[in-house]
Amino acid sequence: MATEAMQAAGEAHKAGMPQLDFTTYANQIFWLVVALVLIYLIVSKLALPRIGGVLAERKGTIERDIAAAEELKRKAQAAEAAYNQALADARTEAAKIVAAAKAEIQKDLDAATAKADAEIMAKAAESEKRIAEIRDSALASVTEVARDTAAELVTAFGGAADAGAVGDAVTARLKG
Amino acid sequence: MTVATDQAAEASSKLSLHPMEQFTVRPLFGGTEIHWYTITNVTLWMAVAVVCTFLLLVYATRARALVPGRGQSIGEVVYGFVRNMVVDVAGEEALAFFPYILTLFMFVVFANSLSLIPMSFATTSHFAVTGVLAIAVFLTVTIVGFVKNGTSFLGLFWVTSAPLPLRPVLAIIELISYFVRPVSHSVRLAGNMMAGHAVMEVFAGFAIVLWISPLSIAAITAMYGLEIMVAVVQAYVFTILTCVYLKDALHPHH
């Protein structure tokens, strides 16, 4: 009778909710507290410092890398500016050298022109002198010829050729 | 009386529908007595949850890699998820409670998920477990509220934005809702877990009837997918409610 009642109670209990079986509460609560304490120790002593450290380190590394990249970019820009400056300087320098060379050449050219002009002038002067000489000598020859011819003509016409008179007369005629 | 129970027993043995039997706490190493120290299936599955927490948060992150691998990524995602939840809901000063909240989340999410392994035991389907968790949260929040704010913590119940005649009524409502919190907090979690598992068990019981078994198996499959979602969502809900209560303790003025 008693066992039957116990069995009936057990059956009813099985059919009901194990959640409401208060005899298991102490057991569940004890092991829950143990599990929570263990998880808390794992989380607070091991997991959080480690993961927090890893995340902080990653953040730091990323920030450092970005800073380094910016530094490199700045350097590259400076190098580009320096390059452009050097290029501009070189251009100015080249222009200067070209101008100097031009001036040098011009100077040489001027000197050569002047020298050539002087030579031409000298040659022209000499030629003129020569021409004058030739003209003078030609004139003298003409006077001679005229005097001789006059003397011959006077002789031919039977006169006595006075050399001095003939000469004066010819000179007078030539001037006239 | 006896005839009725016999009939009920006969009917149930035919279909073998014992949807609640899976929640029975049993000693692992024989015996029928369950003392507080007895090693039971509760002990086993809580231990598995502890081991899983260790594996995810400690073992998987052992490399401390700058570029994380798969395991470390999951650990970091869980860490970031719970940390953001604490900061977004309860503010920066709640970070002092981050280890406690992460402990709660890890326990609930692993207990829920592990209970979906066939033949396992759903520790979070028991009111003893969720009740202790909820009462711990309730006590912590109440003590923190009084320690941080002194008696001005009672301003939580005195809604200054409401018209003066309404305030005593609102105070009573707020007070009741405050003390109902641990009940709803714990019953929500245990109820969700229990209901899902019981429904799957019922479908599994029907699976022995030939003409209904394909439908039953399809239903179990669908329920299993739903239960995976419920396991994670309920862990999330439990944790975010803890954060909300903590926010009330730190900033009691609406």
Residue A137 is inside which H or E element, if any? helix A48-156
In terms of pLDDT, which residue wins out, A81 or B33? A81
Helix, strand or coil for residue B40? strand
Distance CA B108, CA B101 (A): 11
* Secondary structure percentages of chain B, helix, strand, coil, to 5: 80, 0, 20
The partner residue sitting opposite B126, judged by closest CB among A16, A28, A58, is: A28
Task: Kindly state the percentage of chain B with pLDDT values over 90.
Answer: 67
What is residue B197's predicted lDDT score, i.e. its pLDDT? 94
Provide, as residue numbers in chain B, all residues whose Cβ is less than 8 Å from the Cβ of A17: 20, 23
Question: B34 touching A, CB under 8 A?
Answer: yes
Nearest 5°: the CA angle A33, B236, B248 is 80
Provide, as residue numbers in chain B, all residues whose Cβ is less than 8 Å from the Cβ of A63: none
Tally the domains of chain B: 1
Determine whether the interchain pair B36/A34 forms a contact, defined as Cβ–Cβ distance below 8 Å.
Answer: no
Distance CA B247, CA B249 (A): 5
Distance CA B41, CA B28 (A): 6
Distance CA B64, CA B75 (A): 11
Own/partner contacts of B144-152, CB < 8 Å, gap of 24 or more, are: B144/B97, B144/B246, B144/B249, B144/B250, B145/B248, B145/B249, B145/B250, B145/B252, B148/B249, B148/B250, B149/B249, B149/B252, B152/B252, B152/B253
Most confident of A153-157, B23-27, B104-108, B158-162: B104-108
What is residue B30's predicted lDDT score, i.e. its pLDDT? 82
Helix, strand or coil for residue A33? helix
Distance CA A71, CA A136 (A): 96
Most confident of A1-10, B15-24, B71-80, B199-208: B71-80
Task: Pinpoint the alpha helices (H) of A16-47.
Answer: 25-41
Chain B closest-CA separation from residue A61 CA (Å): 9
From the list B1, B13, B4, the residue with the least C-alpha distance to B208 is B13
Distance CA B51, CA B56 (A): 9
What is residue B207's predicted lDDT score, i.e. its pLDDT? 86
Determine whether the interchain pair A21/B132 forms a contact, defined as Cβ–Cβ distance below 8 Å.
Answer: no
Determine whether the interchain pair A55/B79 forms a contact, defined as Cβ–Cβ distance below 8 Å.
Answer: yes
Provide, as residue numbers in chain A, all residues whose Cβ is less than 8 Å from the Cβ of B21: 14, 18
Q: What token pair was written down for A3?
A: 């066992």
What is residue A176's predicted lDDT score, i.e. its pLDDT? 63
Kindly report, residue by residue over B90-119, the tens digit of the pLDDT: 999 999 999 999 999 999 999 999 999 999
Asked if pLDDT for residue B8 goes beyond 80, the answer is no
Q: CB of B20 within 8 A of CB of A17?
A: yes
What is residue A59's predicted lDDT score, i.e. its pLDDT? 94
Determine whether the interchain pair B64/A50 forms a contact, defined as Cβ–Cβ distance below 8 Å.
Answer: yes
From chain B residues 195-234, the ones with a CB under 8 A of any chain A CB are none
Provide, as residue numbers in chain A, all residues whose Cβ is less than 8 Å from the Cβ of B128: 19, 24-25, 28-29, 32
Determine whether the interchain pair A24/B128 forms a contact, defined as Cβ–Cβ distance below 8 Å.
Answer: yes
Determine whether the interchain pair A44/B35 forms a contact, defined as Cβ–Cβ distance below 8 Å.
Answer: no
Q: DSSP assignment of B105-118, as one string?
A: HHHHHHHHHHTTST
Query: What tens-digit pLDDT sequence spans chain A (176 residues)?
Result: 444 444 444 444 455 788 888 889 999 999 999 999 999 999 999 999 999 999 999 999 999 999 999 999 999 999 999 999 999 999 999 999 999 999 999 999 999 999 999 999 999 999 999 999 999 999 888 888 888 888 888 888 877 767 777 778 777 877 76
Distance CA A27, CA B24 (A): 12
Determine whether the interchain pair B54/A42 forms a contact, defined as Cβ–Cβ distance below 8 Å.
Answer: yes
Q: What token pair was written down for B99?
A: 């280890």
Residue B144 is inside which H or E element, if any? helix B127-149
Give, to the nearest 10 degrees, the angle between helix B167-206 and helix B213-250.
160
Q: Among the listed ranges A166-170, B46-50, B191-195, B244-248, which one has the minimum average pLDDT value? A: A166-170
Residue B9 lies in domain? 2-250
Which chain B residue lies closest to A45 (C-alpha atoms)?
B99
Q: What token pair was written down for A86?
A: 């050097």
Kindly report, residue by residue over B184-230, the tens digit of the pLDDT: 999 999 999 999 999 999 998 888 888 889 999 999 999 999 999 99
Indicate the DSSP class of residue B67: S
What is residue B14's predicted lDDT score, i.e. its pLDDT? 58
Please give the distance of CA B244 from its chain centroid, rounded to a whole number: 16
In terms of pLDDT, which residue wins out, A10 or B37? B37
Mean pLDDT of chain B: 90
What is residue B60's predicted lDDT score, i.e. its pLDDT? 92
Complex-level ipTM? 0.88
Determine whether the interchain pair A57/B126 forms a contact, defined as Cβ–Cβ distance below 8 Å.
Answer: no
Alpha-carbon Rg of chain B, whole angstroms? 22
Asked if pLDDT for residue B7 goes beyond 70, the answer is no
Asked if pLDDT for residue B244 goes beyond 50, the answer is yes
> How many CB pairs (< 8 A) connect A and B?
136
Q: What token pair was written down for B205?
A: 């019981």
Distance CA A125, CA A121 (A): 6
Predicted confidence band at B3 (pLDDT cuts at 50, 70, 90)? very low
Question: B126 touching A, CB under 8 A?
Answer: yes
* Distant-in-sequence, close-in-space partners of B65: CB < 8 Å, separation ≥ 6: A54, B72
Domain boundaries in chain A?
A: 25-175
Chain A closest-CA separation from residue B107 CA (Å): 7
Strand partners, B27: B40
